Amino acid sequence: MNVASRISELSAAGEVLVSETMRSLARTSTGVRFEDFGEQALKRVEEAMRVWVLQQA
């Protein structure tokens, strides 16, 4: 199962969504910020996952 693929299915055109894990790894990167997209139910994933929208600062 590819969680990234499931998350990308939720995104609109030009929008980048990331998992909590990716947000945690990149949260100190200069020039980016994240907006909470909420808990999302993903196909073939048992528990809902928090998803974030990547935005340029």
Q: What is the pLDDT of residues 20-57, one digit of tens each?
A: 999 999 878 888 899 999 999 998 888 999 999 999 76
Token pair, residue 27, equals: 């949260």
pLDDT given at position 40: 96
pLDDT given at position 1: 53
| CA–CA separation, 44 and 19 (whole Å) | 16
- The whole-angstrom distance between residue 24's C-alpha and the CA centroid of its chain comes to 11
Single pTM value for the model: 0.84
Structural domains of the chain, count: 1
Domain membership of residue 29 as a residue range: 3-56
pLDDT given at position 42: 93
In the chain, helix, strand, coil percent, each to 5? 25, 35, 40
Contact 17, 52 (CB under 8 A): yes
Question: Which residue has 């969504």 as its token pair?
Answer: 17
